[in-house]
Chain A
Amino acid sequence: MSQHFISVEALKRQFPGSDKAVFEDLWFGVEKGEFVCIIGHSGCGKTTVLNILAGLDTPSDGAIIFDGKAVEGPSLDRAVVFQGHALMPWMSVLDNVLFAVQSRWPAWPKARAIEHARKYIAMVGLAGAEAKRPAQLSGGMKQRVGIARALSTEPKTLLMDEPFSALDALTRGTLQDEVLRLRAATNLTVFMITHDVDEAMLLADRIVLMTNGPGARIAEILVNTLPKDRSRETLHQLPDYYPIRNHLLDFLVRRSKAFTPPAGWDARKPPHVYAAAPKAGLGVGLDGAAAE
């Protein structure tokens, strides 16, 4: 039944010693080339969903189907950008990326692997910093290396766990632009966790809204109707900006706390909602409810 590129099905995670699941009965899909953000309060299990998708954690129930195969452990096809950059401090920038490249292509001669790693370091704007150690880099630069490392393995999808939450607002902005640019260049499928409403609106095609844990569910999936060529500078001037923002904030501030499924709500097909009038060409093939 699953035609999605990534298909999350009946996912549940309950930690040992706890009598309530962090989340249960999660269903949603991500299409190829799509950018999906998941948003929700701390403790709703967003990171756990991402970890299961990365293969670093196992669900108590349900499964994730990725590109036609069930996720059973980590894979180079699913690259992760970690919240705390997770660079190896004893390796230079080049070696950090090279470590990933050589993991992907162990048979490559070293010169070829270095050339490949340099290409991705340059892609995130760090050409010239190859010999530096992570400790010599600013927080934003470290996260750029983290992104270069993830992209260098040419994965099928990029999983990002609040990658910019530890950065100051200015750096976060530049890195968001960078991600927009990289994504346009590579057309990667991206799944990202955030708690920043503006970040989700800037980057995501669809935004998955999770209720508060324990027992978190997917309340609805918001389709981002902002034009594709949006940019950070002009985001807040777009006509749909405030309706979408208000919808998201309203959910986070009020509705996520005491979510009671409305009549006709089906966990298997969380409703797709539009904060502003849907536009042609958006959300096509996404709306599971509409398709049936």
Chain B
Amino acid sequence: MKISFRLRAAIVSVALLVALLGAWHIATSGAGQTQAMDPEYAKLMGLTATQGKSAMPGPLDVGATLWKHLADPFYVKGPNDQGIGVQLGWSILRVALGFGLAVLVAVPLGFLIGLSPLFRQALDPFIQVMRPVSPLAWMPLALYTIKDSAISSIFVIFICSIWPMLTNTAFAVANVRKEWLNVARTLEVGTFRKIFRVILPAAAPTILTGMRISISIAWLVIVAAEMLVGGTGIGYFVWNEWNNLSIANVINAILFIGVIGMLLDQLLGFLTRLVTYPE
């Protein structure tokens, strides 16, 4: 009997997961050294000191917390106790706003740069210098000028999302096949019709690829930005749980960040496929 390639890959995936979880379980289940101590003092010290339990949670602990998060993701019990769904929602909202603003700026600006060699040359030094700057370096400047930490983190997302879209749009627009432009010229197509019927569809796959890179970077950056500005969001949640010494929650957050990041990437991948044309 032949097993399909996909099924074999899935079997290997599951085997790896089981092996990994098993190793994790074994590594964290062993008992360390314990010391005899005053029972009152032992209450303060926790299980690590009294029973030798590892401070690193095992897969079962993480699973239990995960279940708790999934069972009630959207509760709000005061500023420091909100469901993981709420925290992720804040992060996604900030990314969506910052990314959306970046699309509104980067795509038209990229068109301008792509269509005009003069602008390409003139703006190139700015782009070259600004692009390698870590978006978080903008944070103090944003906090000082905007005076609002929530908007500042959106600004940081905006700044980091702009570059891949800008460069990809400019490149795609500048490299639209000459023959398609010649067709438009021989048909005496007006500027706007040429932009929307010829250049935009021709450049769309590359522009969407730029957006896909941008959203991945934005999702990386939002965690760090929220750690800095605090208040809400998954980045804040991670830092808060670190302060609570809840490693299980930190691991849970890592899982959620990964899954949402993957979904965002797949969404953009799906949109890219929609505008891709076979030649």
Contact = CB atoms under 8 A, between A and B. Distances in A.
A248 B189 CA distance: 40
B278 interface: yes
A262 B258 CA distance: 80
B279 interface: yes
Contacts of B202: 88, 90
B197 A99 contact: yes
A75 interface: yes
B187 A100 contact: yes
Interface stretch (A13-21, A22-30, A78-86, A176-184): A78-86
A74 B198 contact: no
Contacts of B193: 103
A245 interface: no
A54 interface: yes
Interface residues of B, number: 20
A153 B183 CA distance: 12
Interface string B36-68: 000000000000000000000000000000000
A74 B201 CA distance: 23
Interface string A226-258: 000000000000000000000000000000000
B179 A84 contact: yes
A133 B185 CA distance: 22
Contacts of A99: 187, 197
A251 B275 CA distance: 50
B278 A103 contact: no
B189 A103 contact: yes
Interface string B162-188: 000000000000000101101101111
A56 B187 contact: no
Contacts of B201: 88, 90-91
A90 B186 CA distance: 19
Specify which of A73, A82, A88, A104 lies most central, judged by the most chain B CB atoms within 10 Å of its CB.
A88
A76 interface: yes
A79 to B, nearest CB: 7
Given A82-B179, A84-B179, A99-B197, A89 B186 contact: no
A78 B182 CA distance: 13
Contact of B182 (A80, A89, A100, A103): A80
Interface in B228-279: 275, 277-279
A70 interface: no
Contacts of B182: 54, 56, 80, 82, 86
The 8 closest A-B pairs by CB, nearest first: A103-B187, A135-B278, A86-B179, A90-B277, A89-B277, A90-B201, A74-B185, A74-B186
Given A76-B186, A89-B279, A100-B187, 16 more contacts: A55-B186, A75-B186, A79-B186, A80-B182, A82-B182, A82-B183, A86-B183, A88-B183, A89-B277, A90-B201, A90-B202, A91-B201, A99-B187, A103-B189, A133-B278, A134-B279
19 contacts: A54-B182, A54-B186, A73-B185, A75-B188, A80-B182, A82-B182, A82-B183, A86-B182, A88-B183, A88-B201, A88-B202, A90-B201, A99-B187, A100-B187, A133-B277, A134-B279, A135-B277, A135-B278, A135-B279
